[in-house]
Amino acid sequence: MVEGARPVTGASPAPDAAGLGRARATGFLVPSMVLILLFLVVPAVWTIYLGLTNYRLTGLAAANPQIVGLDNYTRALGDERFRTSLVLTLQFVLGSAVIGQAGLGFAIAFALRDRSGPLRRVVEAFVLLSWILPSSVVAFLWIALLDRDAGTLNALLGIPGTAWLLDHPMLSIIIFNTWRGTAFSMMLYAAALENVPRSHLETARLAGASTWQQLRDVVFPRIRGHVLTNLLLISLWTFNDFAPFLITAGGPEQRSEILPVYVYKVALSGGELGFGAAISFIMLLINLVIALVYLRMLGRRKEKA
Amino acid sequence: MSTATRTPPAPATDPAGEGPTIAVRHLLAQIGRYVFLCAVLGFFALPLLWLTTAPFDDTPTVTASLPQFTLDNFRALLDNPYALSSLRNSVYLAAGTAALVVTFAALAAYALSRVRVPGRDALLYGLLLLSSIVTGTATMVPLFELAFRLNLIDSRLGVILILSGGLLPAAIFILKDFMDSTPTSYEESARVFGASPLQIMRHIVVPLVRPGLATVGVWAVANVWGNFLVPFLLLRSPDKAPAAVIMYTLYTEGGQADLRLLSTFSLLYSLPVALMFVFVSSRYGFRFHGGIKR
């Protein structure tokens, strides 16, 4: 399925310099493989099985789960709440990852491209700080920022009483996640822009090309690979992001209930483990598609190189 | 909010592109760029403001404001039964996971680097793919179920094992790169003098790849320190919960949140990662050097 996309791990140095031998080498591999098998492979496979049952956290179906075939899937597809959640997730990924993080990250990297000195360091430090702080802390920082009565944002804008999290929950978590994750795109594009010869930009500028024309004709053709890498990775991460749960918990009235929050509520709060597993499996499939596209692309670029 | 201040369009008065127009345009672009960067700075700094003012304010509110300076708020940390113990739990989880990941990944990476295991590249590739799609979020149901069957609910060891399983593939991948680029001649001579493979590993390989081990260790600590979902799902008793979970319960449970406690706790909990970041960026520079240039 993914021929030609293997990572090139480089020829190993002189084989087996320490005289490890096959048997001991296998021994060295065992501890890692046991953990990976148990906590990555088993859960992935088990999701498929659980998704075909009516397993519940409590009650009759907890003791004696029945195979119900594809019922969970047909139920999910017919479920208004699931479809809404899917649409919200799409909005979340498009809005906060593709437009927000990638767009803002590129804009910052481009604006900083030939700068050094304090401004660059300060901007980068703040962008990175919002990326590395623990998610439950930044979630509260945003709750405080957006607070209806005493939030800093309303105080600054002079509009006390605006309930951002209640009136615009999706917009709030989209902007939150843009703030949270832009650092990765910024760093990736900063590295990418180093590949664009400065003289080319200078020539274009002297020839009277606008910033937009420079971007389209000089910059973008050289960083196309980075753009794709970036978009796929941040889409994958955003799709699986649980942090909005810490801010809105999916509410109010499920209006910001993206898939990770939906699964949590249905399966672990609501106890419908079988149904939740079916949704999880759909998520895994979406993840797999994104990851395969990404790796396939890496492989193709490697072959060309 | 910060995209509203992009570079303003250049005045299109003189399409022939005379010298002065270009100079004006250039100036405008510079101003636009500066305004944009200031807006970006504002956007990213604004939410963080509260974290720097509230802990030292003698009457903290949710608004960021110039504090009436005090250190009394930190006493709230001692009064709360879970605040300090949760930080200890975080240290325990992070250190345990990092130790496990570094040790196991080093062994596996060494074996994969030095011995031609058939299908090695495919194996590494498959594991990496697996670890990127099997996230805690997509597999929370089976993980919970698995922990339940293995009697790992409410066990910190369970959290460590599950987190390690998720981090290992990438750690092996990173370390194998480091191992591949070290010379094998030392190992060969040590072997001539009769050192066992484990001795060679400990006394020769480990010192050589120390930067790689440090990278993986820091990366694992950073991952675990902020992780909310796994301990939130698996740990039931509050005295075992790490700071990520206690932080969440502090502002969601029980009526009026105690802002003295919340602000000082947030600061204390954030400090280690912030310091780690300062250390890493001052020592190595916090940017991509072509590792992800693809």
Mean pLDDT computed over A177-196: 92
Query: How do residues A213-236 score in pLDDT, each as one tens digit?
Result: 888 888 888 888 888 889 988 999
Higher pLDDT among residues A192 and A208, named by residue: A192
Please give the torsion angle defined by the CA atoms of residues B256, B261, B264 and B270, in that order, rounded to the nearest 10 degrees: -80
Chain B residues closer than 8 Å to A246 by CB:
228, 248
Of B40, B125, B247, the CB nearest to A140: B247
pLDDT the model gives residue A141: 94
- Distance of alpha carbon B105 from the chain centroid: 18
- B15 pLDDT above the threshold of 60: no
- Distance of alpha carbon B39 from the chain centroid: 26
| Partner-chain contact B114 A195, CB within 8 Å | no
- B85 pLDDT above the threshold of 50: yes
Q: How many domains does chain A have?
A: 1
| Of the listed ranges A18-27, A56-65, B92-101, B196-205, the one predicted with least confidence | A56-65
Sign of the dihedral defined by the CA atoms of residues A130, A135, A140, A146, in that order: positive
CATH number, domain with residue A203: 1.10.3720.10
Instruction: State the smallest CA–CA distance between residue B220 and chain A in angstroms.
Output: 13
Q: Evaluate whether residue A33 is within a structural domain.
A: no
Q: Evaluate whether residue A74 is within a structural domain.
A: no
pLDDT the model gives residue A17: 67
- B40 pLDDT above the threshold of 90: yes
Q: Evaluate whether residue A150 is within a structural domain.
A: yes
Query: How do residues A12-22 score in pLDDT, each as one tens digit?
Result: 444 666 677 77
| Partner-chain contact A10 B245, CB within 8 Å | no
Higher pLDDT among residues B248 and A211, named by residue: B248
Chain A residues closer than 8 Å to B243 by CB:
134, 136
Cβ of residue A4 closer than 8 Å to a chain B Cβ: no
- If we measure between CA atoms, which residue out of B287, B269, B187 comes closest to residue B228? B269
- B11 pLDDT above the threshold of 60: no
pLDDT the model gives residue A4: 38
pLDDT the model gives residue A273: 87
| Partner-chain contact A284 B134, CB within 8 Å | yes
Cβ of residue A303 closer than 8 Å to a chain B Cβ: no
Mean residue pLDDT of chain B comes to: 83
- Terminal C-alpha separation, chain A: 21
- Distance of alpha carbon B262 from the chain centroid: 22
pLDDT the model gives residue B251: 86
| pLDDT band (50, 70, 90) for residue B7 | very low
Query: How do residues A90-133 score in pLDDT, each as one tens digit?
Result: 999 999 999 999 999 999 999 998 888 888 889 999 999 999 99
Chain A residues closer than 8 Å to B127 by CB:
36, 40
Instruction: Answer whether B85's CB lies under 8 Å from B73's CB.
Output: no
| Partner-chain contact B117 A29, CB within 8 Å | yes
- Give ipTM to 2 decimals: 0.85
Q: Report helix, strand or coil for A285.
A: helix
Mean pLDDT computed over B141-170: 91
Number of neighbours of residue B226 by Cβ within 10 angstroms: 23
| pLDDT band (50, 70, 90) for residue A38 | very high
| Partner-chain contact A18 B200, CB within 8 Å | yes
pLDDT the model gives residue A14: 46
- B13 pLDDT above the threshold of 60: no
Q: Evaluate whether residue A3 is within a structural domain.
A: no
Instruction: State the smallest CA–CA distance between residue B213 and chain A in angstroms.
Output: 16
Query: How do residues A238-257 score in pLDDT, each as one tens digit?
Result: 999 999 999 999 878 889 99
Mean pLDDT computed over B37-59: 90
| Of the listed ranges A49-63, A132-146, B30-44, B90-104, the one predicted with least confidence | A49-63
| Partner-chain contact A145 B136, CB within 8 Å | no
CB interface of A with B, residues 5-64, below 8 Å: 5-7, 9-10, 12-22, 24-26, 28-29, 31-33, 35-36, 38-44, 46-47, 50
**Domain boundaries, position A289:** 80-304
**Amino acid in the structure at residue A84:** T
Q: Evaluate whether residue A224 is within a structural domain.
A: yes
pLDDT the model gives residue B232: 93
Of A142, A267, A302, the CB nearest to B141: A267
